[in-house]
Copies of this chain bind each other. A is one copy, B any other.
Amino acid sequence: MKKIPRSASNDYSADMVNTRRHFIEKETNTSLPHLSHFSLPPESVAGNIENFTGVAQVPIGFAGPMTVQGEQAQGDFYVPMATTEGTLIASYSRGMRLTREAGGVTTTVIDDAMQRAPMFSFANAREALAFGKWVKANFALIKQACEASTQVGKLRDIEQYAVSKLRWLRFNYTCGDAAGQNMVSKATRAGCEWIIANYPAPIAHFVLSANLDTDKKHSHLNTLHTRGKRVVAEVTLPKALVKDVMHCTPEALFKQRQYSNMGAMMAGSISNGAHFANGITALFIACGQDVANVAESSAGFTYAEITPNGDYYFSVTIPSLIVATYGGGTGLSTQAECLRVLGCEGKGSVNKFAEIVAATVLCGDLSLASAVVADEWVSSHERLGRNR
């Protein structure tokens, strides 16, 4: 079978894009008029993709307005969501109306860390332990070596995890407005080179990563210790509002929460929430995030209370929300437009974006939970009642 055409000199010219499209069309006996219909300049995707041939046209709708009382995100937002799941935007919008009428969603970024976790192996556990102590004692110098490789990344601390004669160092960085995965890989490599050059005893084996990070997959470690931003969104819904907008009660929502907590524990789920992934994915596609990070970002916790006066306190915590407003796909055509709609352009806007994502997730979880509860209440109740 033939190789896909590439150009050594300029692979992002309109010509090369056409050449590749014609090649694919011919080889697969297809026609790709939609794929080749786009307005983004081909040269703009250099660094974002290889063998660029066209675009996926993913439908975008706006949900909202959503009112956010964040530390960074303050005011009302129209939230761009790229999805093909019908009712999703309607449902999120309903949750946004509910929280808007309750005064808005309070959001807080409570932690921030991106990491790379190299592994070092030794002759035995005792040598691994000695290495761990040396690393701790030499933190300042390691930090210097890491940060020399980056203008933005700052090494916060190095956690250590040990099993057998192996020792993982989990380097935690802050990365400005970037998601930072590449930044921290480069910086950690620089730090490890310094370690390897200066550690006065033998190291049997070193590798820059061995699945403890854990990149592009969920882990309980990341839920405990944050990967990307750790964000909380909260709201207190007056009892009457729940009835008016959601056609159910705080008590019914809270009861459903008890069942859902138990179901999640029984299933061994990484989330006791309803569908964090839906809102996160739709925002990620629209806003040029690395969508594969849905694997990590979709995990999280829901916590609710009925207040003494019968209102409903509801919160979502996203422990590993990996977001960026700089780098990656954030500068591309439609993606940059969507970030601009949210006012998340320019330096220092990443936490604002993180807060908007968390607020959106909260609205979507409230809406779905209410639908599940009210549905049962309205349509199944009569039949159910007969059995009592």
Contact = CB atoms under 8 A, between A and B. Distances in A.
A263 B120 CA distance: 12
Interface in A206-235: 206-224, 230, 232, 234
Identical chains in the assembly: 4
A240 interface: no
Interface stretch (A23-31, A136-144, A346-354): A23-31
Contacts of A286: 56
Contacts of A31: 337
Contact of A40 (B34, B277, B386): B34
A341 B28 contact: yes
A124 to B, nearest CB: 5
A89 B4 CA distance: 12
A354 B201 CA distance: 27
Interface centre among A111, A210, A305 (most CB of B within 10 A): A210
B20 A58 contact: no
A238 interface: no
Interface string A44-68: 0101111111111111111111010
Contact of A83 (B49, B60, B211, B270): B49
A221 B218 contact: no
A14 interface: no
A245 interface: no
A356 to B, nearest CB: 13
Contacts of A20: 62
Nearest to A58: B56
A61 B57 contact: no
A57 B39 contact: yes
A85 B45 contact: no
A106 B124 contact: yes
B384 A206 contact: yes
Interface string A286-316: 1010111111001101010100000000010
A262 B315 contact: no
A120 to B, nearest CB: 10
Interface residues of A, number: 171
Nearest to A65: B1
A299 B217 contact: yes
B264 A278 contact: no
Given A211-B261, A270-B270, A291-B291, 15 more contacts: A24-B78, A30-B340, A35-B334, A38-B57, A110-B129, A125-B234, A164-B315, A165-B315, A204-B388, A211-B259, A212-B264, A220-B267, A220-B269, A224-B224, A258-B305
A145 interface: no
A62 to B, nearest CB: 5
A271 interface: yes
A211 B317 contact: no
Given A217-B276, A259-B210, A270-B218, A61 B52 contact: yes
B219 A270 contact: yes
Interface in A75-129: 76, 78, 80-90, 93, 106, 108, 110-111, 117, 119, 121, 124-126, 128-129
A129 B117 CA distance: 26
